[in-house]
């Protein structure tokens, strides 16, 4: 019975989540490629053996494969990850066929096709947020404690996971951002916190403390702010809706602001990891995504799952814009270099770059998987 429950809550939502995000991303590449005259041989959800598929009138094979951990668009003439244009196969094509080959397109058009995937993920996120804001109302991230940082101020004061922060220094707290604001205003370092625990209100008074490098959602910004005394808590992975729908224009504006804020917060977090101000233990991979999607499905509603999908779509789009060979950002950088130099980058150079990129991505995947497994072990024993 437990196995069936885990499949329902963890496996199926994860496959749906990943399938939608990959489809959106690859559809961006596909649509722009078709618009620019590039022929697409395959549009695949998943890797490995084909489970089912259909070929459309323009010769594209749409298929679903056995390993649901990604997907791809295979353009006409593609032979390797470097998208080199010097292969014997390409040289043997007729002039009319060469007009539909991705590798032989001008770098400006190849740049547009590469950028279209991440852009589609961002458009999807904005649409999700806008629809929620327009139909239900503005989302807020509730001031509920998702995690208490060990040895932080909140930990020592006795604040617990799932406590809801009601007031700080007499000021009402409506969402998690209000906590950050009130903590920043506590110039003397002392706070009075009113919280709700199991239906009963409780008041605590204590001094804020620095986190000694531990990560916190309260103020994940630059080095100066990271040295400020904090509560030492993280938010919970749920959202609340105030059920006051916005107008269509305001909904799209707020959706754009929300998407921008998530992007900048993510970039700050990445910068802190690179500079060592934030722990690399927070890096997660496929297992972590499956775990979080399952937890949200099991504990929350469909709105939280859809919002989580939008958050991951932003992260997928952003990560793919990083200038790493093999990712879309790597292709974009190569296209920009070719546009400036007015000559195609050599096949050997591309091959070396993409091998380096592959090694880097594999190393990140192994590191993320290690973190995921360690987190799961700690969760099981906890």
* The two structure tokens encoding residue 317: 């789009």
* The two structure tokens encoding residue 348: 């050997």
Note whether 26 and 113 are within 8 A (CB): no
Secondary structure (3-state) at 59? coil
Which DSSP string do the residues of 121-168 spell out, in sequence order? HHHHHHHHHHHHHHHT--EE---BEEEE-TTSHHHHHT--TT-EEEEE
The single-letter DSSP state of residue 78 is -
* The two structure tokens encoding residue 98: 């060469």
- Residues with Cβ < 8 Å from 57, sequence gap 6 or more? none
Q: Find, among 337, 315, 336, 317, the residue nearest to 327 by Cα.
A: 317
The single-letter DSSP state of residue 82 is T
At residue 225's C-alpha, the angle toward residues 317 and 292, to 5°, is 40
Rounded CA separation 354/170 (Å): 56
Q: Is 26 an annotated catalytic residue?
A: yes
Rounded CA separation 88/52 (Å): 32
At residue 251's C-alpha, the angle toward residues 249 and 253, to 5°, is 70
* Sole residue written with tokens 């009319």: 96
- Residues with Cβ < 8 Å from 320, sequence gap 6 or more? 25, 117, 118, 121, 327, 328, 329
* The two structure tokens encoding residue 158: 């006795």
* The two structure tokens encoding residue 274: 């690179």
Note whether 134 and 243 are within 8 A (CB): no
Pairing type for strands 139-140 and 145-148 reads: unpaired
Catalytic residue from among 2, 5, 26, 218: 26
Q: Find, among 217, 366, 215, the residue nearest to 282 by Cα.
A: 215
- Residues with Cβ < 8 Å from 131, sequence gap 6 or more? 251
Catalytic site positions: 26
């Amino acid at each position: 019975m437990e196995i069936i429950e885990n499949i329902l809550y963890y496996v199926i939502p994860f496959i749906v989540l990943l399938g939608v995000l990959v489809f959106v991303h690859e559809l961006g590449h596909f649509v722009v490629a078709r618009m620019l005259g590039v022929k697409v041989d395959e549009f695949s959800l998943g890797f490995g053996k084909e489970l089912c598929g259909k070929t459309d009138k323009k010769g594209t094979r749409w298929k679903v494969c056995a390993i649901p951990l990604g997907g791809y668009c295979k353009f006409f003439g593609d032979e390797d990850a470097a998208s080199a244009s010097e292969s014997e196969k390409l040289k043997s094509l007729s002039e009319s066929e060469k007009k539909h080959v991705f590798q032989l397109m001008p770098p400006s058009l190849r740049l547009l096709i590469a950028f279209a995937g991440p852009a589609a993920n961002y458009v999807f996120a904005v649409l999700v947020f806008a629809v929620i804001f327009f139909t239900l109302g503005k989302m807020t991230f509730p001031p509920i404690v998702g995690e208490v940082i060990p040895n932080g101020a909140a930990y020592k004061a006795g604040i617990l996971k799932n406590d809801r922060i009601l007031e700080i220094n007499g000021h009402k707290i409506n969402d998690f951002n209000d906590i950050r604001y009130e903590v920043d205003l506590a110039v003397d370092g002392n706070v009075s916190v009113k919280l709700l625990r199991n239906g009963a209100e409780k008041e605590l008074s204590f001094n804020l403390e620095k986190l000694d490098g531990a990560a916190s959602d309260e103020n994940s910004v630059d080095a100066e702010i990271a040295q400020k005394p904090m509560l030492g808590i993280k938010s919970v992975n749920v959202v609340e809706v105030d059920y006051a729908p916005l107008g269509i224009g305001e909904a799209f504006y707020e959706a754009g602001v929300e998407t921008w804020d998530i992007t900048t917060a993510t970039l700050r977090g990445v910068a802190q990891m690179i500079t060592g101000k934030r722990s690399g233990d927070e890096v997660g991979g496929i297992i972590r995504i499956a775990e979080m999607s399952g937890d949200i499905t099991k504990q929350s509603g469909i709105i939280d799952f859809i919002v989580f999908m939008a958050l991951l779509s932003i992260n997928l789009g952003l990560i793919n814009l990083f200038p790493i060979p093999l990712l879309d950002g790597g292709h974009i950088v190569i296209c920009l270099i070719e546009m400036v130099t007015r000559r195609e980058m050599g096949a050997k150079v591309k091959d070396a770059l993409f091998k380096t990129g592959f090694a880097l991505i594999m190393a990140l995947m192994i590191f993320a998987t290690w973190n995921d497994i360690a987190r799961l072990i700690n969760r099981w024993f906890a």
